[in-house]
Amino acid sequence: MLSLLKQYPSLAWIAPFAVFMLLLAVAPTLAIPQPWESVLRVGVLAAVLVLFSSGVLRTLRIKHAVGSVLLGLAVCALWVAPDLLFPGWRTHWLFQNGITGTLKNSIAPTELSDPLVLTLRFARAALLVPILEELFWRGWLPRWIVNNDWEKVPLGTYTRGAFLISAVLFAMEHGPYWEVGLLCGLIYNWWMQKTRSLGDLILVHAVTNAALSAFVLVTKRWEYWM
């Protein structure tokens, strides 16, 4: 594995996100009963992060913990604000259509009472997704857009193209929530430019996802767990 990563260093930054997207597409078709499907997803993602990205993660440091926590909470508030302030907002064709998809809960109604399923879903959102997404969206992609020889580009390097392209693609990943996904991507990109710290980006993303997951569990607004 070490020789493979030395030959292809981008794998440490890309592989976990690629496996995450593959699981999103493939896991529902495997008809694996819960909670085993959730165990599979969490186990595979954790293993891929350890195998491919542990070397990178060991080098990361959090430099602005308080600011990152507060920003993460603010982004969570922005994420839910449109639907809370304007009932029916998400039903507009701008958000649910043939391109962005439709709202659907990734957990079957019969499984929403299973504590293990909910715990694993929370853990995936709050612990694993922030790491694998930030490695890709803020750690690798903007640097690669700036220069194909991306390792020469310092973390947090700003160019208008990289800033906007990565934010737009991040928004597209979030389907019917694309408009808040775009806002989130712009804010995260700004924080990356300001802190130049991928550790802080993982923290702010983790706080956002943890707060949003807590909101889902309290309000039963399961559609946020697409």
DSSP collapsed to 3 states, the chain:
CHHHHHHCCCHHHHHHHHHHHHHHHHHHHHCCCCCHHHHHHHHHHHHHHHHHHHHHHCCCCCCCHHHHHHHHHHHHHHHHHHHHHCCCHHHCCCCCECCCECCCCCCCHHHCCCHHHHHHHHHHHHHHHHHHHHHHHHHHHHHHHHCCCHHHCCCCCCCHHHHHHHHHHHHHHCHHHHHHHHHHHHHHHHHHHHHCCHHHHHHHHHHHHHHHHHHHHHHCCHHHCC
**pLDDT higher than threshold 90 for residue 5:** no
**pLDDT higher than threshold 80 for residue 1:** no
Instruction: Kindly state whether residue 86 falls inside one of the protein's structural domains.
Output: yes
Q: Give the per-residue pLDDT at 68.
A: 98
This prediction's pTM: 0.95
**pLDDT higher than threshold 80 for residue 2:** no
Q: At what angle do helices 115-123 and 36-48 cross, to 10 degrees?
A: 20
- Lowest-confidence segment of 38-47, 100-109, 201-210 by average pLDDT: 100-109
Q: Give the per-residue pLDDT at 143.
A: 98
Instruction: Kindly state whether residue 56 falls inside one of the protein's structural domains.
Output: no
**pLDDT higher than threshold 80 for residue 219:** yes
Average pLDDT over residues 208-216: 98
Average pLDDT over residues 41-57: 96
Instruction: Kindly state whether residue 217 falls inside one of the protein's structural domains.
Output: yes
Instruction: Kindly state whether residue 192 falls inside one of the protein's structural domains.
Output: yes
Q: Give the per-residue pLDDT at 108.
A: 84
Structural domain for 130, as ranges: 61-224
pLDDT, tens digit, 9 for 90 and up, residues 144-194: 999 999 999 999 999 999 999 999 999 999 999 999 999 999 999 999 999
pLDDT, tens digit, 9 for 90 and up, residues 119-145: 999 999 999 999 999 999 999 999 999
Average pLDDT over residues 5-22: 94
Instruction: Kindly state whether residue 106 falls inside one of the protein's structural domains.
Output: yes
Instruction: Kindly state whether residue 50 falls inside one of the protein's structural domains.
Output: no
pLDDT, tens digit, 9 for 90 and up, residues 18-31: 999 999 999 888 88
Instruction: Kindly state whether residue 54 falls inside one of the protein's structural domains.
Output: no
- Portion of the chain with pLDDT greater than 90, in percent: 88
Q: Give the per-residue pLDDT at 37.
A: 92
Q: Give the count of domains, the chain.
A: 1
**pLDDT higher than threshold 80 for residue 115:** yes
Q: Give the per-residue pLDDT at 201.
A: 98
Instruction: Kindly state whether residue 218 falls inside one of the protein's structural domains.
Output: yes
In angstroms, rounded to a whole number, what is the distance separating the alpha carbons of residues 68 and 167? Answer: 18
